[in-house]
Each structure stands twice: as structure tokens, then as C-alpha cells.
Amino acid sequence: MTSTTHPDRAPFQGALSFEEQDFIDRLIAQHQGEPGMLLTLLEEIQERQANKYLPMEVLDYLSTRTGIPGAQIYSVATFYALFNLKPQGEHTVCVCRGTACHTRGSRNLLERMKLQLGLQADPEDGSADKVSMTTADRKFTLRTVACFGQCALAPVAEVNHAILGHVNERTLEREVEALKKGGRS
């Protein structure tokens, strides 16, 4: 662990570079006192990370600088599906597991994507219904969400933030293959 000092703040014992600390400090100053400040900070910090996730040392630093208890920050980061505590892939495939999508075959979509991407469930990742897996080459992350709120379009999947309605296994396979070949993004 390294210690980084700055004239107007106490040293932080952690693995963050001065640039990372400075970025977070500027964000805190910019959003200080705003309603929903923590959500905004987490979102902006995650977006800046190379693999779109929130490393634990970032959460620790955020706690130190804001005075928000680390347990509260961790609780927020794990409650909202948009936050990631593990590095994410370059492309994201997200399958809806809501009731309408489930009854129209979303489990088959999920299983087909696992096969196509060569992914296996990690027993330490909790429920089989809540999935977040990234390929070894960090090209793809496969995730599930409880509901997209697009029930009339069930089953629904999202590829790189683009919603696909009435999607079937073949359509989703083609989308992923196009991304593998450097197509759509």
C-alpha cells in the first residue's frame, strides 16, 4: 500500500493514484450536499473506470473522503444493478428475468448465451437467477436483471444498452456474433 499526500488533506493508505484521488475529490466537491450525491458519485466513478466497475479501494476512499460509512456505500453499490464490483466486459448482454420474459423463454436465452460465450456459473456468485459473468478475455459480460419494464416486448434482452424486444435465441446469437466480428457496438 502506498500513501499519497496532498497539502489540504490527510494521506490515504491505499492503492489509488493521486490522479484517481484528485478526480474523486473534485467530484465530491462538485456534488456536495446534492440529493442523491452518493448515487451520482458512484455512477461517475464507475463510468471512468477502464472496466466499468467500482474497485473496493475506491469505495474505501469514498468513505474516507465523504464520511459516509463504508457499509452504507457498499450496500448502495450492491443494491443497484447498474453498479458492478467486478470488472466488466467490453460488450454487455443483459437478459430480463421478469415474469413476462420468463414465461416467454428468457431462461433459454440466458442458457444459450452462456454456451455461446463459454461461461459457467460461479458458485460463489449467489442465486442462479441473478447472473453477472464476464468472459476471460473481458470482451463480454452476461447479466440478468429482474425486469426492464418492457413486458409487452417479452422476452427482452439488452445488448450494449440497446433493447431487443420479442428476441429469440437465433437473433441474440447473431447480435453477439456481429460484436465478436467487430460489428455493431
Tens digit of pLDDT for each residue in 11-22?
Answer: 555 689 999 999
Q: Are 96 and 156 in contact (CB under 8 A)?
A: yes
Q: Which residues of 12-45 are buried (b: 16+ CB within 10 A; e: fewer)?
A: bebebeeebbeebeebeeebeeeeebbbebbeeb
Q: Are residues 69 and 103 in the same domain?
A: no
- Among residues 150, 133, 130, 152, the alpha carbon closest in space to that of 141 is found at 133
pLDDT above 70 covers what percent of the chain? Answer: 86
Q: At what angle do helices 37-48 and 70-79 cross, to 10 degrees?
A: 70
Express each pLDDT in 51-107 by its tens digit.
999 999 999 999 999 999 999 999 999 888 789 999 999 999 999 999 999 999 999
Q: What is the mean pLDDT of the chain?
A: 88
Which triple of cell numbers denotes residue 122? 460461479
In a domain, 62, yes or no: yes
Q: Are residues 170 and 131 in the same domain?
A: yes
pLDDT of residue 80: 84
Express each pLDDT in 92-109 by its tens digit.
999 999 999 999 999 999
In a domain, 58, yes or no: yes
Q: Are residues 115 and 136 in the same domain?
A: yes
**Structural domain ending residue among the three candidates 29, 50, 79:** 79
In a domain, 86, yes or no: no
Model pTM? Answer: 0.72
pLDDT above 90 covers what percent of the chain? Answer: 74
In a domain, 85, yes or no: no
Domain residues for the domain of 114 are: 91-180
**Structural domain ending residue among the three candidates 44, 79, 114:** 79
pLDDT of residue 81: 77
pLDDT of residue 6: 41
pLDDT of residue 14: 64
Q: Are residues 104 and 167 in the same domain?
A: yes
What is the domain-level CATH number for residue 109? 3.40.30.10
